[in-house]
Amino acid sequence: MKIAFGTDQGLVPHGQNAREFALMVQAGMTPMDAILAATRNAADLIGDAKDIGSIQPGRFADIVAVSGDPLTDVSELTRVQFVMKGGTVYKADGKASGAGGIVDAGGH
């Protein structure tokens, strides 16, 4: 059974959804399975696995990076230091770049 990360419930403030990684691990998933739920599995389940969900040539350049190892401490994913979407850097060294009109993305 595939599990996808995310919700449409709207009760969690924007920018705090990365807390779901820890909840998935507490429920018994490995950190890698939780990450795959947010990437590969989610892309597959919405029918867009050809463009998103993994880092490969020809796909959209949507990438985040953290300072630590999320396979050791999945809560690292709540402290994103770098964000690139569609090849545009929105956050680097933990600071919003202002690209695309985004000055601060509310905790991303």
The CATH number assigned to the domain holding 36 equals: 2.30.40
What pLDDT does 1 receive? Answer: 83
Query: Does the residue 43 lie in any domain?
Result: yes
Residue 54 CB neighbours (<10 A): 10
- Of the two residues 101 and 3, the one the predictor is more confident about is 3
Count of the separate structural domains present in the chain: 1
Query: Does the residue 89 lie in any domain?
Result: yes
Q: Which residues on neighbouring strands pair with residue 91, listed in sequence order? A: 83, 96
- Count of all residues that appear for the chain in the document: 108
pTM, rounded to two decimals: 0.81
Query: Does the residue 53 lie in any domain?
Result: yes
Parent domain of 41: 19-101
Q: Are 80 and 64 in contact (CB under 8 A)?
A: yes
Tens of pLDDT, residues 45-98: 999 999 989 988 888 878 999 999 999 999 999 999 999 988 889 999 888 887
Query: Among 54, 70, 50, which residue's Cα sits nearest to residue 62?
Result: 54
Residue whose entry in the numeric block shows the structure tokens 């350049």:
61
28 CB-near residues (< 8 Å, 6+ apart): none
What pLDDT does 48 receive? Answer: 92
